[in-house]
Amino acid sequence: MKKIVLLVLMMFVAFSFHVTSRAEETIPLNEINLLNLSLLNGYKYNPDVAYYAETLSLEVNQTYTLVMSHTYLSDYIADIANLYIAFDENDGSNAFETYLVNDPTNQRAYIEFQSTTGLIDMHHVPVSDVNNYEIMLYQGTYQDFSGFVPYLMPTEVMSYGGVLPVDYDALPSLATIESFVTAKDPYGNQITKTLLSDAYSSSDKSPGTYRMVFETIYNHVRKKFYLDVKIFDLTKPVLSVEAPLDIPIASKWSISTIKSYVIVSDNVDDLDSSDLMVISDTYSAATTPGTYAVLLKAVDSSGNEETINVTINLVDNVPPIVYGPTSIYLYTTDTPLTTNDIKNHFEITDAVDLSNVTVTITTDEYMQTQTPGRYLVTYQAQDTQLNTTTFSVYIHVIDHQGPTFEIGSDIIERSTAELMSDEDIIDWFIQHTASQGLSVSSVSILYNEYAGREDQEGEYYVYLSYVLDGEEVTSRVLINVDEESGLSWMWIVTSLAALALLGTGVWFIIKHKKP
């Protein structure tokens, strides 16, 4: 394809040229011949000299030189010291004659003159019948003379120019370019050309314009061809990316990071990902998982553009975060924990779904048992993208109960809210002795340590007096008040030994939980 483009461009060069007239081209003044030989008219009575048929239009007070070769002067050489040129200012203000100065070294003769009005008539110009036309009038001094050139019409094309567009990726050789420029004489015959300067060959061949100057000479006329070799970069930058890019939504990449994944290359310019421009972007504002795109463009120094659409999958790959204990303790007497009770010991969140997390139980050795032991319970927390976190906890069921007593019929239970008064104690004593087959009367309390200390932990005695079988007997009852946890009853205990009621007395134990 590049070869075809080059061929088209090469064909274009045949039409992409211009010509420049002498007036448009900057040509040294000493190379412009102002003397039109066709205007030299010989005198009828002196055919060896002639006058110029038109008034010369010259610049005021500037030096002009008329120079002739010895070959042109021919037979005048012997009398060259007497040759002169006559001038008349066109307004009649001045007329003068200027004698030729001989330059035998260079085989030439010349005169220098100026015009005060700019319009001057010239007479007495020597003419020759020899086949030689080396006579020239130019602006400048004799020292400026660089060679004879023929008179050319003001519209004569003195230089040519053209543009050769070429592809940077298919640069032609110097020989190929030279073959595009051909010099010919006025009759169509090919003549030699010379390459005067060549900015193309010495350049680095970067896109741009490089001038080459060719010159050819025919009939002492020197003409140039200015060729501008214009190197074009016709190739777009090349962009590639391994898409799509999977980016975690919890830690989104910057656009610069996304650009860095795009491989950028160009045939001319040293482009990289930092040269990419964002054309459109649905990714930056995205807050939920999904597929988005960033359209990027690269432009090289020649204006060639290329775009690439980078597909981005915004993904949630972060599982839920769980904070909580590894063990939970409770006693056998506590109410068993439900699965929700256990779950409530944990804080569960998610970077994307926040609290929108599903929690399920996968292992349950506990099963709300009250049997002492250690039981494993495992949960699974899952967000909407199925990212999963598993967490476990051990349920420790602890036996903390002390021993218990079995009570017989001799133990009396009384509520802790019912505090025993003196009358209560006497009534109980009479009833209890009666249950033992004893009959007591005239029961009275001699001294009561328990009174006023019903809610204070300790052991207290109540001393009683009574009549048994006609005899007055003294005895005591022990009341024990404690803070035993979990007990809600008061216990009153008395000895059942019948013999103990005789003699010195009988004592009873009353165990009572303080209110």
> Tell me: the pLDDT tens digits for 278-325?
999 999 999 889 999 999 999 999 999 999 999 999 998 889 999 999
Task: Compute CA distances 343 → 326, 382, 389, whole Å.
Answer: 12, 14, 14
Contact between 134 and 72 (Cβ < 8 Å): yes
* Residue 159 to residue 24: CA distance in whole angstroms: 9
CA 361 to chain centre: 45
SS3 assignment, position 79: helix
Give the residue-averaged pLDDT of 472-476. 85
Looking at residue 10, its pLDDT comes to 40
Contact between 76 and 87 (Cβ < 8 Å): no
Q: For strand 84-89 and strand 119-123, is the pairing parallel, antiparallel, or unpaired?
A: antiparallel
The DSSP symbol for 11 reads H
Looking at residue 476, its pLDDT comes to 81
Q: Is the pLDDT of residue 94 over 70?
A: yes
The DSSP symbol for 420 reads P
Residues 6+ apart with CB under 8 A from 98: 84, 85, 87, 111, 112, 113
Higher pLDDT, 317 or 3: 317
How far is the first Cα of the chain from the last one, in angstroms, to the nearest whole number?
109
Q: What single-letter amino acid sits at 348?
A: I
Residues 6+ apart with CB under 8 A from 153: none
* Residue 35 to residue 66: CA distance in whole angstroms: 9
* Residue 68 to residue 110: CA distance in whole angstroms: 6
Q: What single-letter amino acid sits at 207?
A: P
Q: Is the pLDDT of residue 430 over 70?
A: yes
User: What's the burial of 202, exposed, middle or buried (CB within 10 Å: 0-12/13-18/19+)?
Assistant: exposed
* Residue 312 to residue 316: CA distance in whole angstroms: 13
Of 325, 313, 378, 389, the residue nearest 351 (C-alpha): 389
Give the residue-averaged pLDDT of 466-494. 64
Q: Is the pLDDT of residue 465 over 70?
A: yes
Give the residue-averaged pLDDT of 112-136. 94
Q: Note if the pTM is more than 0.85.
A: no
* Residue 268 to residue 401: CA distance in whole angstroms: 90
Looking at residue 166, its pLDDT comes to 95
* Residue 167 to residue 412: CA distance in whole angstroms: 120
Q: Is the pLDDT of residue 487 over 70?
A: no
SS3 assignment, position 151: coil
Average pLDDT, the chain: 85
pLDDT digits (tens, 9 = 90+) for 69-84: 999 999 899 899 899 9
Q: For strand 263-265 and strand 194-198, is the pairing parallel, antiparallel, or unpaired?
A: unpaired
* Residue 399 to residue 402: CA distance in whole angstroms: 9
Task: Compute CA distances 11 → 15, 47, 182, 212, 301, whole Å.
Answer: 8, 56, 15, 19, 26
Looking at residue 22, its pLDDT comes to 52
The DSSP symbol for 193 reads -
The DSSP symbol for 341 reads H
Looking at residue 122, its pLDDT comes to 97
* Residue 392 to residue 381: CA distance in whole angstroms: 11
Confidence of residue 20 (pLDDT cuts 50, 70, 90): low
Give the residue-averaged pLDDT of 483-512. 39
Contact between 512 and 416 (Cβ < 8 Å): yes
* Residue 170 to residue 288: CA distance in whole angstroms: 50
Count CB neighbours of 186 within 10 A: 8
Task: Pick the range with the lowest mean pLDDT from 18-22, 27-31, 307-311, 462-466.
Answer: 18-22
Token look-up 């779950």 returns 343
* Residue 24 to residue 212: CA distance in whole angstroms: 19
Tokens of residue 104, six digits: 């035998």
Looking at residue 492, its pLDDT comes to 38
Q: Is the pLDDT of residue 482 over 70?
A: no
Q: Is the pLDDT of residue 514 over 60?
A: no
CA 313 to chain centre: 18
Tell me how many helices (H) and strands (E) the chain has.
6, 36
Task: Compute CA distances 168 → 2, 186, 207, 269, whole Å.
Answer: 10, 36, 7, 12
DSSP characters for 357-419? -EEEEEEES-TT--SSEEEEEEEEEE-TT--EEEEEEEEEEE----------TTPEEEETTSP
Task: Pick the range with the lowest mean pLDDT from 120-134, 265-279, 314-328, 434-448.
Answer: 434-448
Give the residue-averaged pLDDT of 146-169. 92
What is the side-by-side strand order in the sheet with 108-113? Answer: 101-103, 108-113, 64-69, 135-139
pLDDT digits (tens, 9 = 90+) for 435-454: 888 888 889 998 888 777 77
* Residue 21 to residue 27: CA distance in whole angstroms: 10
Q: For strand 290-299 and strand 238-240, is the pairing parallel, antiparallel, or unpaired?
A: unpaired
Output the CA torsion sign for 174, 177, 179, 184.
negative
Contact between 85 and 76 (Cβ < 8 Å): no
Contact between 218 and 152 (Cβ < 8 Å): no
pLDDT digits (tens, 9 = 90+) for 338-394: 999 999 999 999 888 777 899 999 999 999 999 999 999 999 999 988 999 999 999
* Residue 442 to residue 171: CA distance in whole angstroms: 143
